[in-house]
Amino acid sequence: MSGQSGSVFIEALIAAAIVSMILAAGFQVTADSANRRQMVEARRYALMVARSQMAAVGYSIPLTAGAAEGRDGPDLWRVDMQPCALEAGDSALGALYCVAVSVRDARGGPPLVTLRSRRLAPPV
């Protein structure tokens, strides 16, 4: 009889270990899901900021060679504007600028979003 009670105790310990591993795996999956959701939200917000700044180039951000920087909520943005290299040179319509907008988290790290476009500056 005492051999059977020891066997039941070991089976209970094994069952508890299996349940603990399943719960730990479930917790890990939930934590990973929350981290990914947070990263997607940060990138979505950064994309909205980048689109907004790209739309402002030529209006509230003057279209001249150089850079403009600022902060929007938890993100830092930077707009780089340089004349595009063209074989034929500038047209009568104006100079063509290569514009890049990058948005990064204010705490550091690589850019969350980078948008590139070309803008035509009016002739002077």
Sequence ranges of the domains in the chain:
2-121
Closest CA to 97 of 65, 123, 53: 65
pLDDT at 40: 93
pLDDT at 9: 87
pLDDT at 59: 87
**Domain boundaries 2-121, CATH class:** alpha beta
pLDDT at 2: 52
- pTM, entire model: 0.72
pLDDT at 55: 93
* Beta strand residue intervals within 12-112, DSSP E: 66-72, 75-83, 95-105
Closest CA to 118 of 93, 104, 43: 93
pLDDT at 100: 96
Closest CA to 43 of 116, 114, 112, 115: 112
* Beta strand residue intervals within the chain, DSSP E: 66-72, 75-83, 95-105, 113-121
Q: Give the three-class secondary structure for 81.
A: strand
Low-confidence ranges of the chain (pLDDT < 70): 1-5, 87-92, 124
pLDDT at 3: 55
